[in-house]
Amino acid sequence: MQRAVSMVAHLGLRLQALPSALGRPLSCAQDVLRRTPLYDFHLAHGGKMVAYAGWSLPVQYRDSHVASHLHTRRHCSLFDVSHMLQTKILGCDRVKLMESLVVGDIAELRPNQGTLSLFTNEAGGILDDLIVTSTSEGYLYVVSNAGCWDKDLALMQGKVRELQNMGSDVSLEVVDNGLLALQGTVTSGCPSPCLKKNVAMGYVPCEYSRPGTPLLVEVRRKQQMAVVSKMPFVTTNYYTLK
């Protein structure tokens, strides 16, 4: 169930109009650029932080890319996936679902074994890459591209619903890592000359409708920070007759 909410988008020196259009995705966030749990670790090791898909991530450490590559080959390296779309595929037909979306023999994965694979379209074309792990807890753990999280999630959700209309035992659970996994809709918006901010109205799931809840709203394919606010946006200073 979704609830109507009002939002205020904080701006810097430049006022940007928020288009009055349907279908703009909303997402939960704390800052314009989110930080993974390893943010301080990246900085401590000389990470050069850049913006990617709404996150502050290291593009390089104090050593060169060649040095990092050789270290990985000779020893081992870990990749921070905190910013990526992470989903759990549950149910007896979880393998059937995954093999209908990707290339690769998911059924042959051993417990806690993962494989790099590809999302494909109906014609067999490549949509995105991902990693699928068959966990010992009885579900598939899927990690896919942060830059394509909305399309990847919509693809998986659509296939889950299709297999459920057909009677299959399968469900999808998004791992809550702060990855903007919340979806909603902006119904109207405009700049507020009084507030010198953008204001908008829209729908979000009930658990994210409390005033003060931070959100990200997509404006012309760019994410802007917003906060759920009570109406009216501007406090009235007139009196009404009782």
Query: CB of 38 within 8 A of CB of 84?
Result: no
Same domain, yes or no, for 142 and 167?
Answer: yes
Among the residue ranges 22-36, 104-118, 125-139, the one predicted with the least confidence is 22-36
CB atoms within 10 A of CB 175: 14
Distance, in Å, from the CA atom of 51 to the CA atom of 88, rounded to the nearest integer, reads 27
Within a domain: residue 75? yes
Q: Give the pLDDT of residue 49.
A: 93
Among the residue ranges 48-57, 124-133, 181-190, the one predicted with the least confidence is 181-190
Tokens in use for 123? 């014609």
pTM above 0.75, yes or no: no
pLDDT in tens, 95-115: 999 999 999 899 999 999 999
Among the residue ranges 85-89, 152-156, 232-236, the one predicted with the least confidence is 232-236
32: pLDDT strictly greater than 70: no
Report CA torsion sign: 97, 203, 205, 146.
positive
End-to-end CA distance of the chain: 36
Q: Which residue has the higher pLDDT, 235 or 11?
A: 235
CA distance readout (Å), 96 to 125, 139, 143, 163, 171? 19, 12, 18, 9, 12
Which residue in this structure is represented by tokens 């990617």?
A: 52
Same domain, yes or no, for 154 and 201?
Answer: no
- Residue 41: pLDDT band (50, 70, 90) is very high
Within a domain: residue 13? no
Q: What is the CATH number of the domain that holds 173?
A: 3.30.70.1400
Within a domain: residue 145? yes
Contacts of 81 (CB under 8 A, 6+ apart): 143
Give the mean model confidence (pLDDT) for residues 186-198.
Answer: 82
Q: Give the pLDDT of residue 241.
A: 65
Same domain, yes or no, for 105 and 137?
Answer: yes
Distance, in Å, from the CA atom of 104 to the CA atom of 110, rounded to the nearest integer, reads 13
Give the mean model confidence (pLDDT) for residues 16-20.
Answer: 31
DSSP class of residue 19 equals -
35: pLDDT strictly greater than 50: yes
Q: Give the pLDDT of residue 130.
A: 93
Same domain, yes or no, for 102 and 152?
Answer: yes
Structural domain count of the chain: 3
Q: Give the pLDDT of residue 46.
A: 92
Same domain, yes or no, for 132 and 145?
Answer: yes
Among the residue ranges 64-78, 96-110, 218-232, the one predicted with the least confidence is 218-232
11: pLDDT strictly greater than 50: no
Within a domain: residue 211? yes
Q: Containing domain of residue 130, as a range?
A: 85-177
Within a domain: residue 3? no
Distance, in Å, from the CA atom of 4 to the CA atom of 204, rounded to the nearest integer, reads 7
Q: Which residue has the higher pLDDT, 183 or 14?
A: 183
CA distance readout (Å), 221 to 94, 150, 176? 32, 12, 23
Which residue in this structure is represented by tokens 């149910």?
A: 91
Tokens in use for 152? 């990847």
179: pLDDT strictly greater than 50: no
Which residue in this structure is represented by tokens 């760019």?
A: 222
Last residue of a domain, one of 14, 49, 80: 80
Give the mean model confidence (pLDDT) for residues 71-95.
Answer: 89
Q: Which helix (H) or strand (E) holds 50?
A: strand 48-52
- Residue 42: pLDDT band (50, 70, 90) is very high
